[in-house]
Each structure stands twice: as structure tokens, then as C-alpha cells.
């Protein structure tokens, strides 16, 4: 969910840009009678229709770069000037991608606001020209096309621009963004993708001809989205200034509420739209390009672009291809995690065994997988038939039958070392030699689990995050003995499951849990100091965390949090202290395990959205009450006490070599723990906010609380030499 | 001398080239023969048969068969019918029709369903029963009545009605009734779409035609050919498998009513029926919804001879295939044809009469292109070379499903009888029947002329 947001915001921009071209978007093809060879764009003429093919060189996707802009302008000018050509088709030569959006590298290469503004204006000019083209232009889009329709300031269009929401083709048709849909073709006399592109081109050419011959009317004189979403009445209402003001206000309110003011883009977009409507399109365009320039220069933009690059990095298998593909997967434990892992595996076509010790546990797990798939059916992302056929990849069982064929076993049993040892030994007795044993644990060191293994080189940690089908991160933990091929296999499986992967070294709490633990300890202390959970939640969310800190404990499970706190507390001692773990112990003893038991800091009821505080917590909190230190208890201090402990621990993980790169640290924190995406992750945050300022904060809290806030060496180094950055 | 020898040798080689095999009889396996087969006239649905029920049509085919062959009812060991859209009241339509047609109530009957190859399945089930020695005489057939289809209450409404049945007190009933919503009354039509993909067959055919780059004109031309040939066959009285049917309360129906040769200009005016507005499959180049029934008498060869029959044909090797129901829904004939030929030890050249089911012009032409493509054969069929094209002059010479009509469950028997009758009329030894079916399935069978 964190990821969606981050990427949504990124694509918002690209979307915005192209969108204005209103469906005049293209797709590619290979030049048959290309007149000129250009690197990004070429075109051929079929009859009296020019077919313009977009094909960014050496890239899987087409992006709006400077070169593409200029070549596109050239080509379009030639087309407009030619007597022979009466209409044009725009198409991409890359199957599955029309134009992915603005080239991020191009944008990050811009040093100044003016540069960006200028880029944006160039793009506007060509799009405006395209819009006013005297010859009909048909865009044939196959695959991703990030773009939308600003123009008229219609709330529907606004929604799209603001959230960067993905729109499926059938929906785009309904919204009037596209005029016709062409369905993918199956096998014929050529590979299906190739023939589908050809067919799309053929159909587009027919339309272009029809438009030029006035046999087909574009029927879109009103502006795409407007015609569909707006009845005559609402369209009329939008002409009344008062109504418009109300609309702007409503939209702004909603955006502020959703972004907590942490993301500047949506508000600027509203501004631009407002300017466009109130002062005419020229002013709108000008304002758009300027605001776009301003936004690109913001810290938020840098943070989000950093995340984008980090994510690309974490979608690669740095260990190369494994010797043997994992085709048969077995999962031990049908709990929340086990079933979640099963769900993301079966829907990618992996034959998966889900084994549990009890029939009740197994039933629950299988039902979870089914419900996960069925929810997609309800959202029309799957057909019921696809659901059934995916579900048939899952075998639920109580014994080890079929494990002799397993290529990988992922255990997701309870976090108890002796239990993990027992299942490891049981499993090793039945699996083939090549089979990998992966442990899904959030805190137990993998080398300790592997200690009883006959083949420790085949043992690895795969730490998934709950809920597995929503959380993108997978933290893979390698021990000194883990073989390279085992790592390659684990990463390959994770990528197949659609995960963003960081690979870290073994150690207590690995990376993610280790960063979270000191922050959680601080959460407990803050609660003990009398801040109520609701207030704490709002402080953390307004800082950019997607989930409030108290709610997070409930979601993770109080018992899990207690386990982790105890385990890591033993290892790291005082540095992980702060809050009294007794709070968690008492909660567990009363059965307040968080969402799963219906009670934690809050009360959870099926079908009730509103969260009420659990009043039974009052006595527990009262018994552990600590006097707050007014020096360090302002709202901002509370936020920073949490964040600095997190950041300090993250940097220490890099210092100790648990983390290989800062980028993985940022991705892990944002995608796994919900570290504010607008800050870009702990390392990006240090770079952009300033190491010195963070160290200052830490020292202030150190003075109040002691060692838990002592800045680590690496962070101190960065503070001492301002040129030192995690990202150069 | 040498010259004479040379001529003799040449003649021998020509004979070998003409027919790879003299007969397809297999040692130790009983020969299965078609004594004869009949069908009711195939009518556009909603015309003269519209007030009938499916078993009425099936009964008409059965009585027609009895009349045509004079087979004593009591020698029939078993009756099998194919059907696709089932009338719920007569779900085993074979049994209801047999009883009504006066067959012995001691003759068991069952109904099979396999979409458009249901009648083929009925026949091959019979072949299996005879070849394995379980039966000697089988009546196989098929029926479809598209004039009436079961339209159901919605699931919600059905659930409510069933619950009401079980409700014991007035209070329970009232509380159930209070759950009623108006949208419960929305009816549920029988599926027109493939269940697994939710795509209608016409839509899939249009995509298939596009995948093989079959043009609208080619499709219209092929449809026109089908209608013209059917008209010619009808006029020349070649459609001898038809038995007249006196419809209760109406006139006697004597011939098919869907044969309408038009002109390319007229056909070009039609709008696409499925992929709008740029698709190529139209009402004129698709088979139409049809009512009709067919029946065929098959026997062990020795039984037929012992009863004094002169059989029309042997039913030889057959093959069922299936593939991706999304993108290869209608390519069954392409897959089944080479397999059945190989199984029988024949080549395309050995076939004198091709009878392929014409679901859509685009489907037939896509199959032609697939069979004529080395690339397709290599990449999708695991073959080194293409299947090869059936020569058009031997292909569906008396019309096909596009013109004669296509009662889903009944078409299979029509194909076999057309092949058998053509071999008798036009000469030649081997016929090949092939068809595609919903679910991405397909079928092919070799029909061998019975020596005169």
C-alpha cells in the first residue's frame, strides 16, 4: 500500500503530461517504408495514412525524452506538410508499452527549475499542436500508457490526475478516454504479440482513413471525459463560478486529508487546473509548466525518484539465474503468513503444497487463499474460472506426501526455535537433495535455525510481510554458509511472487525487524508517558507513516511484538530499551493480541470500520505510567524520537554490513515498514534532511534518556563531514 | 514386352499413389458399418418447429430412421443421442424420444453432450460398444431445438423459492419474503459465452479470423460458396438423408429453409455481429441458430450382412482433440485432421470427400490457413511440416453448416451421412469428417465407402 502510493505519485506526473494530448496517443511498429531513419521515431506511409512508430532505443519502454520530443516534432511537421498524407496513426514498436511517461533520468538530470519548466513547455507545445492537428491523428495504444485528460477540470479527470490510478482498457473506453478497443489475438501465422500489433495498426489505419474521409465522426467534440461523466446539468453547473469554487474546495479538502499535506503535487495540480479554467488555457499551460518545474525540484520529488530507482534495483536477481527453477513449492504452516505466501505463489502458477498440523488450521489457511482470490473476482481482476484454475495449484494437506518432489520448502510455523528445529529435521528427512529450506521468520537468526541442518548451504531466510498479498517487500537473509545458488533460487521465487527484494546478512532481527524494534520500544515509552494511542497514531501518520504506531502494533500482533522485543532486547541490551516490555506481557496475558484477537490498543469488530480505544488498557497503562520529560515531549519531539531511533539503527545496519547498500535499506524501510515514502527512506532522509540535524536531535534525546539515542559511528561520520552522502 | 511391363508397373504405381491403403479394416477388431442415416429438415429456429419440444424432433428422426431402414425395433441394443442446450424436463432426451418413437422399453438409451460434436460423440460411443463386443446394433443421433431454450429464475430467486418451500411457519415465510428484491426477477439466459473465458463464440471466431488475417471478403466468398453448393445439392435432390416431417398442426416440412444464396454486394452491406464496428464476422458468414434432429443406424458388419443389409459405409479411425479455449477455440479440425490420418495410415491425398463443420466462414478459413502454415505446425502442433490444405473441389460439396444449418447436437450425423452419400454418388473410398466445438475441443473421423 505504501508502494502504491509512492509510485502512484510518480506516475501522476508522467500521466499528467501525456494526458493532455487526450487520447491522441500512439503505439509503435516497425518501419516498412520508413522515409528517414531516426532513433526514437520513424514513420511510413500506407496509402494516404502516415504510420508513426515510437521506439525508444535500448529500452523496454518508451519514455518522453528530449530526443523523442524533437524527433516527434520533426515527424509531425513533415506529416502536416505533406500533400500525400491525409491522416496519421501513432503506434509504439514495443509490445505492451505505448509511452511509459516522462523519462525520470531526464528529469533528474535537470539542475534548475527553469530547465524543467522549459522541458515541460516543449512537451506542451507539441501536444497542443497535436490537439489542433488539421489532419486526423489516431493513437493505437497497446499496453501501458500513462496519461490522462486535464483540460476541463472535471472531477473525474482530477481523480485520475491526483492519484495516478491505473485504468484498465475497458474502463478507459467507458470513460471515453479511448474510442475503440482491440482485443489481443491468439496464435495465427505469426507470434501473437506481433500479429496483434499489426492488427491494431490495420484497425487504426481504417479509422484514420474513415476520419479523413469523414465517414467516421470523432464524436468527441465535447472533450472526452466531459461527455461521459457530465450530464448536461453538471456541465452547466460547472459554468457557475460559485459551484466551481465549491468543487475546488471539496477536492482540496479531500486531497489534504489523504496526503496530510506531505505530498505537494496534488495540490499544485488543483492549482493548475483552477488556473486553466478561470484564466484560460494559455495561463493554465504556463502555470502547469512552472509548477511542474517547481515540483521536480522538491525534496519529495527527489525522495520518490530515489525510491523508483531503488525499486528497479530490487527487482533484479543479482545472483543470476538459479541452476534449477523452482516449480514445486511446499509451505509449512497455514497461518496468516503461510497462506499469504501460498496465495502469491499459486497465482503465479507455482504448484504449492500448504501443510499444517491441524485440519482447523489448514481450513482457515485455504479459506484465506480462496478469499484473497475471490476478492479479485469481485473486483473483476480475475474471472471465476481463472480463480478456480489458480486455486487448483494449491494442495492442502496434513502430512508430508509429495514433499519428495518439492524444490523449495518455506516454513512459516510459530516463532519458536525448538519448533523450527523440529520441522527442519522432519522436512529434511523427506525432501530431495536439491530442495531449499527457507525460513519465514521475522527475528530468529537463520544460522541458529540452520544449526541442526544436514545441509546448511541450502538454508536461507525469506522474511515476508503481512499481509503478504499486499506488502511488496521480501527480505532475504543469507548466512555465511548459504550457497550462492540457494540465494539465486530464493530471489527468483520472490521475484516470481512479485516481490521487491532486499538481501541482507544474518543477524538478530536482520534489517527490518531490527530497525523497527527500537522504534517500537520508544512507542511503548511514549504510551507509558501518557500519550494516548489515538494521538500517537495521528502524530505518526502526519509524519508520513501510512499506519499509526499504535495501530501498527495491533496489526503486527502484540504477541509477536513481545517476542521480538524480548529476543532482540536480550541481544542488544540497553540500546533497545526505553519502554517497559511489561506492557506487552500484560497485554498478552489479558488476550489483547491486536486485530487478530479483536482487542489490542483498539477494539476490532467484524464489519465495523470505526476504531474505538480498548478501555481495558487504561489500567495497564496506568500501572506502568512514567512521568513525561517536558523537554522532549512536544509533538515534533515525539515524532523525531521515533524516527531518529529508526534511522540510527538503520545506519548501524549498514555500518555493520547487515545491509549491502543504502538503497536496499531505503526500499526495505519504505516497502516493508511503511517508513514515510515522501522522505524516501532512512538513508535518503539523512541525505536530504542533513546528518548533522539528525545527530543534534539524537544528542538532545540522549541527554534526556541515555544510550538508546547515542548516534552510531557512521551517522556521526556523516555529520562531521557534510560532503559525505549515502547517495552521491 | 518391356513396354507392356512398364505400363503395368506404371498402373500399379498410380494405384498405390491414389490409395495408400486398400481398406482400413484392422485384424481382430469388428468392422462397424453405417446402414443408413436420416435427419429432419434443418430449419431456422423460430420457424415451423418453434412450438415443439426437443424430444419431438428427435422422435421424428427416429421414426424416419425406422421407416427408411425397416429395422425391427427389438434388434436395437442401445440408443445414444447428443444434445447441447438441454430441456430440463427431458434431460435424457434419447430415452424420451425412443419411448415415443415406439422402441422397446427394454432398449436402454442415454444422452451425451460435447457441444457441437455431441452427435459425433454419440456415434463414436456406439462404435466403441460394437467394437468391444458389447452391442451389435446401435442407433445414434442428435437433436437441438434453439426455438426454445430454458430461461431460469436468478439464483437469488431460486434460493428464495427453495427456502420458502422449507419454511415451516408463517413467520419464517414472511421473513423470507421480506428479503425479496425486484432484481431477483431478472431472468438468467442459457450461456451464450464460453464458460471458462466468458467470450462468445462469434467474438472468438472474429479474433481467430484476425489472427490468421482472413479478410471480410474471403469470408463472404466462402459463405456464398456454401449457400450456392447447398442450393445446387438441394435442387438436384442430393440431400437424400432428409426425411419429411409432418409437424403437428402445421404442414409437412420437406426441406431445409436456411439455404439462401445471396450476392457479395448484399453480404458486404451487413454490419459486424460481434466485434463492432470493425470486426469481420457477420450474420451472413456465420452459421445460424437451427432446429433439427438426426439419427443413424450403425451395426457390426457381420450383423448387418446377416440381416440382409447393404451398408453404406464403414466408420473407421476417429480422434478427439482439445486445445486452448480462448485463442484456439475453433481450431479443432486443424489439430484432429493430421492425427486421424496418421492413425489410419492415410494421407490428405487419399481423401475423396471432406465434410467439415462450418461454424463460421472465418473459422473454416482460419483452419485452412493454419493447415497450410509450416510456422503454425512447428510452433503450435509440434510438427515439422504443415498439415496441408484439403482441396476445395472435394470440400463440403453439398453445402455445410453455414447454409444447411447447424442444430448443435445433430450436426455430427449429418456430416457422416454427407460423407457416406457423397462417396457413393461421386465415387471414391475415403471421407474425412471434422468439426470444432465449444470448450476448444475438436473431432475427426474417417468414413470408408462400403464396397458396392
Chain B contacts of A187, Cβ < 8 Å? 211, 327-328, 376, 379-380
| Nearest CB neighbour to B207, from listed A186, A206, A383 | A186
* Contact state of B380 with A187 under an 8 Å Cβ cutoff: yes
> Which parts of A275-388 are beta strand (E)?
328-332, 351-355
The single-letter DSSP state of residue B308 is: T
**What's the gap in Å between the CA of A205 and the closest CA on chain B?**
11
The single-letter DSSP state of residue A31 is: -
State how beta strands B351-356 and B290-300 pair: unpaired
pLDDT band at A243 (very low <50, low <70, confident <90, very high): low
Mutate to test the interface with A, among B195, B199, B212, B366 (most CBs of A within 10 A): B212
Q: Is A511 exposed, middle or buried (0-12, 13-18, 19+ CB in 10 A)?
A: buried
Mutate to test the interface with A, among B197, B211, B383 (most CBs of A within 10 A): B211
Residue of B nearest to A197 (CA): B211
The string of pLDDT tens digits covering residues A377-415 is: 998 888 888 999 999 999 999 999 999 999 999 999 988
Cα-based distances in Å from B113 to A346, A546, B92, B93: 32, 55, 11, 11
Chain B contacts of A178, Cβ < 8 Å? none
CA–CA distance, B141 with A507 (Å, rounded to integer): 73
* Contact state of A189 with B375 under an 8 Å Cβ cutoff: yes
Residue of A nearest to B207 (CA): A185
| Grid coordinates belonging to A202 | 490495420
Share of chain A above pLDDT 70, in %: 85
Can B406 be counted among the known catalytic residues? yes
| Nearest CB neighbour to B198, from listed A192, A199, A383 | A383
Chain A contacts of B203, Cβ < 8 Å? 183
| Nearest CB neighbour to B373, from listed A180, A189, A383 | A189
Residue of B nearest to A387 (CA): B196
What is the length of chain A?
728
| Nearest CB neighbour to B213, from listed A189, A203, A383 | A189
How big is the A-B interface in CB pairs under 8 Å?
A: 57
* Contact state of B213 with A385 under an 8 Å Cβ cutoff: no
CA–CA distance, A415 with A400 (Å, rounded to integer): 21
| Grid coordinates belonging to A177 | 478516454
State how beta strands B78-82 and B109-112 pair: parallel
- Cβ-contact A582, A623 below 8 angstroms: no
Q: Residues of A at the B interface (Cβ-Cβ below 8 Å)? A: 180, 183, 185-192, 195, 199, 203, 206-207, 383, 385
CA–CA distance, B337 with B322 (Å, rounded to integer): 12
Query: pTM (2 decimals)?
Result: 0.81
| Nearest CB neighbour to B210, from listed A180, A199, A206 | A199
Residue of A nearest to B376 (CA): A189
* Contact state of B327 with A186 under an 8 Å Cβ cutoff: yes
- Given the residues B116, B135, B357, B413, the one annotated as active site: B116
**What's the gap in Å between the CA of A215 and the closest CA on chain B?**
13
Q: Along the 452 residues of chain B, how does pLDDT read in single tens digits?
A: 444 444 444 444 444 455 777 889 998 899 999 999 999 999 999 999 999 999 999 999 999 999 999 999 999 999 999 999 999 999 999 999 999 999 999 999 999 999 999 999 999 999 999 999 999 999 999 999 999 998 999 999 999 999 999 998 999 999 999 999 999 999 988 877 888 888 999 999 999 999 999 999 999 999 999 999 999 999 999 999 999 999 999 999 999 999 999 999 999 999 999 998 889 999 999 999 999 999 999 999 999 999 999 999 999 999 999 999 999 999 999 999 999 999 999 999 999 999 999 999 999 999 999 999 999 999 999 999 999 999 999 999 999 999 999 999 999 999 999 999 999 999 999 999 999 999 999 999 999 999 98
**What's the gap in Å between the CA of A385 and the closest CA on chain B?**
5
3-state secondary structure B106-121: CCCEEEECECECHHHH
- State residue A340's pLDDT score: 96
Can B5 be counted among the known catalytic residues? no
The string of pLDDT tens digits covering residues A254-312 is: 767 777 767 777 777 777 777 777 777 777 777 777 777 777 777 788 888 888 888 88
pLDDT score of A16 more than 60: no
- Distance of alpha carbon A113 from the chain centroid: 27
Cα-based distances in Å from A641 to A554, A648, B146, B156: 21, 11, 75, 56
Mutate to test the interface with A, among B194, B208, B210 (most CBs of A within 10 A): B210
Rounded mean pLDDT, A238-242 = 64
Residue of A nearest to B380 (CA): A187
Using the structure block, give the residue that is written with the C-alpha cell 471458462.
Answer: B196
Closest CA to A521 of A469, A565, A461, A476: A565
* Contact state of A188 with B366 under an 8 Å Cβ cutoff: yes
CA–CA distance, A560 with A566 (Å, rounded to integer): 10
**What's the gap in Å between the CA of B243 and the closest CA on chain A?**
41
CA–CA distance, A644 with A660 (Å, rounded to integer): 21
* Contact state of B366 with A206 under an 8 Å Cβ cutoff: no
- Distance of alpha carbon A408 from the chain centroid: 27
**What's the gap in Å between the CA of A317 and the closest CA on chain B?**
30
Task: List active site positions of A.
Answer: 475
Reported as type and span, the H/E element at residue B436 is strand B430-437
Amino acid at each position: 500500500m505504501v508502494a502504491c502510493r509512492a509510485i502512484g505519485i510518480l506516475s501522476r506526473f508522467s500521466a499528467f503530461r501525456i494526458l493532455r494530448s487526450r487520447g491522441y496517443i500512439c503505439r509503435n511498429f516497425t518501419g516498412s517504408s520508413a522515409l528517414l531513419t531516426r532513433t526514437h521515431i520513424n514513420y511510413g506511409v500506407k496509402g494516404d495514412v502516415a504510420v508513426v512508430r515510437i521506439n525508444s532505443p535500448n529500452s523496454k519502454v518508451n519514455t518522453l525524452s528530449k530526443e523523442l520530443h524533437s524527433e516527434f516534432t520533426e515527424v509531425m511537421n513533415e506529416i502536416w506538410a505533406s500533400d500525400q498524407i491525409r491522416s496519421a496513426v501513432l503506434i509504439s514498436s514495443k509490445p505492451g508499452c505505448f509511452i511509459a511517461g516522462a523519462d525520470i533520468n531526464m528529469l533528474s538530470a535537470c539542475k534548475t527549475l527553469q530547465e524543467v519548466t522549459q522541458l515541460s513547455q516543449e512537451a506542451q507545445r507539441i501536444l497542443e499542436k497535436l490537439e489542433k492537428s488539421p489532419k486526423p491523428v489516431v493513437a493505437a495504444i497497446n499496453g501501458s500508457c500513462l496519461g490522462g485528460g486535464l483540460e476541463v477540470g472535471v472531477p473525474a479527470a482530477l481523480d485520475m490526475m491526483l492519484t495516478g490510478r491505473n485504468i484498465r482498457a475497458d474502463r478507459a473506453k467507458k470513460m471515453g478516454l479511448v474510442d475503440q478497443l482491440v482485443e489481443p489475438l491468439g496464435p495465427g501465422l505469426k507470434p501473437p504479440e506481433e500479429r496483434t500489433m499489426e492488427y491494431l495498426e490495420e484497425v487504426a489505419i481504417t479509422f484514420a482513413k474513415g476520419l479523413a474521409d469523414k465517414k467516421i465522426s470523432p464524436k468527441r467534440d465535447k472533450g472526452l471525459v466531459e461527455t461521459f461523466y457530465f450530464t448536461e446539468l453538471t456541465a452547466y453547473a460547472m459554468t457557475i463560478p460559485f459551484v466551481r469554487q465549491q468543487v475546488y474546495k471539496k477536492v482540496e479538502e479531500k486531497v489534504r486529508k489523504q496526503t496530510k499535506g506531505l505530498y505537494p503535487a496534488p495540490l499544485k495540480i488543483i492549482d493548475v487546473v483552477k488556473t486553466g479554467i478561470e484564466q484560460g488555457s494559455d495561463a493554465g499551460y504556463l502555470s502547469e509548466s512552472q509548477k511542474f518545474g517547481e515540483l521536480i525540484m522538491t525534496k519529495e520529488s527527489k525522495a520518490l525518484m530515489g525510491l523508483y530507482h531503488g525499486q528497479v534495483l530490487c527487482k533484479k536477481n543479482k545472483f543470476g539465474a538459479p541452476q534449477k527453477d523452482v516449480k514445486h513449492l511446499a509451505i509449512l504452516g497455514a497461518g496468516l503468513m503461510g497462506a499469504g505466501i501460498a496465495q502469491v505463489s499459486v497465482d503465479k502458477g507455482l504448484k504449492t503444497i500448504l501443510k499444517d498440523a491441524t485440519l482447523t488450521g489448514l481450513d482457515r489457511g485455504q479459506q484465506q487463499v480462496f478469499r484473497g482470490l475471490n476478492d479479485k473476482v469481485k473486483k473483476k481482476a480475475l474471472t471465476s474460472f481463472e480463480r478456480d484454475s489458480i486455486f487448483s495449484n494449491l494442495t492442502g494437506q496434513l502430512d508430508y506426501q509429495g514433499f519428495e518432489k518439492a524444490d523449495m520448502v518455506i516454513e512459516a510455523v510459530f516463532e519458536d526455535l525448538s519448533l523450527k528445529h523440529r520441522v527442519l529435521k522432519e522436512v529434511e528427512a523427506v525432501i530431495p537433495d536439491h530442495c531449499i529450506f527457507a525460513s519465514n521468520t521475522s527475528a530468529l537468526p537463520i544460522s541458529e535455525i540452520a544449526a541442526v541442518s544436514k545441509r546448511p548451504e541450502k538454508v536461507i531466510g525469506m522474511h515476508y510481510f503481512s499481509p503478504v498479498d499486499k506488502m511488496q517487500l521480501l527480505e532475504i537473509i543469507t548466512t555465511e554458509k548459504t550457497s550462492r545458488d540457494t540465494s539465486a533460487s530464493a530471489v527468483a521465487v520472490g521475484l516470481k511472487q512479485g516481490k521487491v527484494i532486499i538481501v541482507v546478512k544474518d543477524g538478530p532481527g536482520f534489517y527490518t525487524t531490527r530497525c523497527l524494534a527500537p522504534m517500537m520500544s520508544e512507542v511503548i515509552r511514549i504510551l507509558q508517558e501518557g500519550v494516548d494511542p489515538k494521538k500517537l497514531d495521528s502524530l505518526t501518520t502526519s509524519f508520513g507513516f501510512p499506519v499509526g504506531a499504535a495501530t501498527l502494533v495491533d496489526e503486527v500482533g502484540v504477541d509477536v511484538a513481545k517476542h521480538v522485543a524480548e529476543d532482540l532486547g536480550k541481544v542488544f541490551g540497553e540500546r533497545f530499551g526505553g519502554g517497559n516490555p511489561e506492557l506487552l506481557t500484560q497485554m498478552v496475558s489479558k488476550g489483547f493480541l491486536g486485530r487478530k484477537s479483536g482487542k489490542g490498543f483498539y477494539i476490532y469488530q467484524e464489519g465495523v470500520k470505526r476504531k474505538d480505544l480498548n478501555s481495558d488498557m487504561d489500567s495497564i497503562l496506568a500501572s506502568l505510567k512514567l512521568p513525561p520529560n517536558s523537554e522532549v515531549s512536544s509533538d515534533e519531539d515525539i515524532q523525531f524520537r521515533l524516527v531518529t531511533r529508526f534511522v540510527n539503527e538503520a545506519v548501524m545496519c549498514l555500518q555493520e554490513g547487515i545491509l549491502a547498500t543504502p538503497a536496499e535499506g531505503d526500499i526495505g524501510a519504505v516497502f516493508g515498514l511503511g517508513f514515510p515514502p515522501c522522505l524516501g527512506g532512512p538513508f535518503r532522509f539523512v541525505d536530504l534532511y542533513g546528518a548533522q540535524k539528525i545527530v543534534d536531535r539524537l544528542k538532545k534525546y540522549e541527554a534526556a534518556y541515555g544510550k538508546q539515542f547515542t548516534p552510531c559511528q557512521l551517522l556521526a561520520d556523516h555529520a562531521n563531514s557534510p560532503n559525505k552522502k549515502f547517495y552521491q | 514386352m518391356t513396354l507392356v511391363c512398364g505400363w503395368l508397373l506404371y498402373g500399379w504405381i498410380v494405384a498405390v499413389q491414389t490409395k495408400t491403403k486398400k481398406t482400413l479394416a484392422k485384424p481382430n477388431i469388428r468392422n462397424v458399418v453405417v446402414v443408413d442415416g436420416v435427419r429432419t429438415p434443418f430449419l431456422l429456429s423460430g420457424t415451423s418447429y418453434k412450438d415443439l419440444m426437443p424430444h419431438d424432433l428427435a422422435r421424428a428422426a427416429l421414426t424416419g430412421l425406422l421407416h427408411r431402414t425397416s429395422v425391427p425395433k427389438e434388434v436395437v441394443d442401445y440408443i445414444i443421442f447428443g444434445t447441447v442446450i438441454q430441456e430440463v424436463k427431458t434431460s435424457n432426451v434419447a430415452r424420451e424420444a425412443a419411448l415415443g418413437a415406439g422402441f422397446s422399453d427394454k432398449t436402454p438409451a442415454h444422452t451425451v453432450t460435447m457441444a457441437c460434436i455431441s452427435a459425433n460423440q454419440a456415434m463414436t460411443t456406439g462404435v466403441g460398444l460394437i467394437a468391444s463386443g458389447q452391442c451389435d446394433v446401435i442407433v445414434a443421433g442428435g437433436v437441438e431445438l434453439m426455438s426454445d431454450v430454458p430461461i431460469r429464475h436468478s439464483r437469488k430467486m431460486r434460493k428464495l423459492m427453495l427456502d420458502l418451500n422449507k419454511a415451516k411457519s408463517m413467520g419464517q415465510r414472511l421473513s423470507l419474503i421480506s428479503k425479496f428484491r425486484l432484481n431477483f426477477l431478472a431472468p438468467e439466459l442459457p450461456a451464450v459465452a464460453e464458460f471458462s473465458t466468458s467470450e462468445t463464440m462469434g467474438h472468438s471466431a472474429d479474433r481467430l479470423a484476425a489472427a490468421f488475417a482472413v479478410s471480410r471478403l474471403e469470408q463472404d466468398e466462402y459463405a456464398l460458396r456454401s449457400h450456392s453448393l447447398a442450393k445446387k445439392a438441394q435442387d438436384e435432390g442430393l440431400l437424400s438423408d432428409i426425411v419429411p416431417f409432418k409437424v403437428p398442426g402445421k404442414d409437412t416440412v420437406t426441406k431445409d429453409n436456411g439455404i439462401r444464396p445471396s450476392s457479395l454486394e448484399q453480404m458486404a452491406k451487413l454490419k459486424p455481429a460481434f466485434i463492432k464496428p470493425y470486426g469481420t464476422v457477420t450474420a451472413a458468414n456465420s452459421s445460424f441458430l437451427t432446429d433439427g434432429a438426426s439419427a443413424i443406424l450403425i451395426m457390426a458388419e457381420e450383423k448387418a450382412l446377416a440381416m440382409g443389409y447393404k451398408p453404406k459405409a464403414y466408420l473407421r479411425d476417429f480422434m478427439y482433440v482439445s486445445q486452448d479455449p480462448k485463442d484456439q477455440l475453433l481450431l479443432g479440425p486443424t489439430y484432429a485432421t493430421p492425427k486421424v490420418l496418421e492413425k489410419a495410415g492415410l494421407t490428405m491425398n487419399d481423401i475423396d470427400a471432406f465434410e467439415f463443420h462450418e461454424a463460421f466462414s472465418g473459422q473454416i478459413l482460419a483452419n485452412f490457413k493454419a493447415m497450410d502454415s509450416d510456422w503454425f505446425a512447428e510452433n503450435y502442433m509440434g510438427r515439422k511440416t504443415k498439415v496441408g490444405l484439403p482441396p476445395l473441389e472435394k470440400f463440403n460439396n453439398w453445402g455445410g453448416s453455414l447454409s444447411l444449418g447447424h442444430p448443435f447436437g445433430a450436426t455430427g450425423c449429418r456430416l457422416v451421412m454427407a460423407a457416406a452419400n457423397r462417396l457413393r454418388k461421386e465415387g471414391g473410398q475415403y471421407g474425412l469428417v471434422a468439426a470444432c466445438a465449444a470448450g476448444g475441443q475438436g473431432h475427426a473421423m474417417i468414413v470408408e465407402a462400403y464396397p458396392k
